[in-house]
Chains A and B, each alone.
Chain A
Amino acid sequence: MLRFRQQSVLPGFGIAFGFSLFYLSLIVLLPLAALVAEAAGLGLTGIWNIAVEPRVLAALRTSFGLAFLAAVADLFVGFLIAWVLTRYQFPGRKLLDAVIDLPFALPTAVAGIALATLYAPNGWIGAILAHIGVKIAFTPAGIFVALVFVALPFTVRPVQPLISEIDRSLEEVSATLGASRWQTIRYVIMPMLSPALLTGFALAFARSVSEYGSVIFIAGNLPYVSEIAPVLIVIKLQEFDYRGATAIALIMLALAFAALLAINLAQAMRRRRYGHA
């Protein structure tokens, strides 16, 4: 007789599986079904009409553009930090390593007001920058700073284990064959790390696109200038415009999904070219 699960001497499958499925359906699947149903009511033209509203378009451009820039910045900074923390010995290294997870642990609203205060024209950093005529808080640059903060761990953590796993004898071979240290890093080490770097970039981008709490305080939320898409969703919900909110949410999910898909494809093509992961 065919059975749903393979034979096992362990008991408890029925209740564990049943409860998991019930809970998952209730908490995750049912609400997401509401999103799909609402979207079906809108239809593609309905979603498109909302997507091309100038204010929505501007918010999407701000969200995705700044998320991309922040992920690029974190890619470089994250690699530098991962390298320094993994390769070099210096006092305070362990402490700094623990600090990397701070943006995960610190609630976004707290990060938001702290960053807004730091970068405001009279804040610790904002005052210094005001001297040279640079304004961060309440401009798109403020959004960038907040996103660089929240997404940093995503570009450090996936890279660290790979750096420590590098076979150092490969670097010796490279040096013996006459490569400079920079050439070794560029042509021997970087290709080994690039899958992890790309993964980190994708995670940082996804997190930045969806971020809300840490951004709204420092952004100023000026329509057409420093208003991100999640803020627009909240405004639409407050106006009981569920359809408008749903449309923006769907566009965000679709664009983020497309971006992740593109990165996965790039990974796959790279693997085919180099013949290994």
Chain B
Amino acid sequence: MGMREAGKAATAPESVTTESRLARAVLIALAVLFLAIFLILPVLVVFSEALAKGFSFYLTTFKDADAQAAIRLTLIVAAIAVPLNTLFGIAASWAIAKFEFPGKSLLTTLIDLPFSISPVISGMIYVLLFGAQGYFGPWLTAHGVQIIFALPGIVLATVFVTFPFVARELIPLMQEQGSADEEAALTLGASGFQAFLTITLPNIAWGLLYGVLLCNARAMGEFGAVSVVSGHISGLTNTIPLQVELLYNDYNFAAAFAMASLLTLLALVTLAAKTLLEMRYGDSLATSSRL
């Protein structure tokens, strides 16, 4: 019996390859109930609390100078971290997917390393390097350069936690695609850069977008690593997530959730775009990287 007929038979109540109608209903209800309580309620509570004091209060939150500074800082950090990691992702996947060299799997493993390190530890390692009592601390102080508790530290910590996103999407994708197309272009007289621009880039475009999207969402929302290196100076070194924490700990709940609603909207847009990309361009995304 073919797969299709088996699938059709599965909808019949007496089918032997599925559960009874009652069991199915109970299991679906359980799964839906769990997802509603555990995943959907937290999102609803963000908007409900953000609008608890009315829409005009919601809007005044963003007129606050510290709130605007936090939004600006978050945008600046993402504007530095995401392009850097995108450039790295393209370079690393070109080297790993198109060439054979010793130590390749070690390199691939090292690229994934930041994913398996706790956000707090990710921030901490930069404090060890550049903090007041860190290895380069005294030298930096003597030369009037501040990294920790300033923008450079926040950017470094963000770059670290978002490091693998683009690379781990592009490497398997470019490996699946091989390099026959590029070789043909070179044979026909294209320069290496032309081949990359007109052959490789269009081939990886959707995967690249997918990786950049996830990288950006994490860059703007990172909390633990940034928290360690930021110093929490409102109006100066607080990103949106840190400002959320500050407002919340000050019992300024409506404002905290208003700021949080910005990040929640970003998360929902990212999720929608991700789902759309997977549905429409699933074939041009790397199958192994989807998690």
Contact = CB atoms under 8 A, between A and B. Distances in A.
Contact of B253 (A83, A117, A246): A117
B196 interface: yes
Contacts, number: 281
Interface residues of A, number: 94
A90 interface: yes
A117 B46 CA distance: 9
Given A19-B88, A210-B121, A117 B6 contact: no
B192 A12 contact: yes
B42 A242 contact: no
A271 interface: no
Contacts of B120: 210, 212, 230, 233-234, 249
A118 B42 contact: yes
B17 to A, nearest CB: 4
Interface string A160-191: 00000000110110011000010000000000
A27 B31 contact: no
B101 A6 contact: yes
A217 B121 contact: no
A69 to B, nearest CB: 15
B114 A19 contact: no
Contacts of A10: 98-99, 179, 182-183, 186, 192, 195
A99 to B, nearest CB: 5
B91 interface: yes
A12 B84 CA distance: 19
Interface of B: 1, 3, 6-7, 10-11, 16-20, 24, 27-28, 30-32, 34-35, 37-43, 45-46, 49, 84, 87-88, 91-92, 94-95, 98-102, 107, 110-111, 113-114, 116-121, 124-129, 131-135, 156, 159-160, 163, 179, 182-183, 186-187, 192, 195-196, 217, 220-224, 227-228, 241-242, 244-245, 248, 253, 256-257, 260, 263-264, 267-268, 270-272, 274-275, 290-291
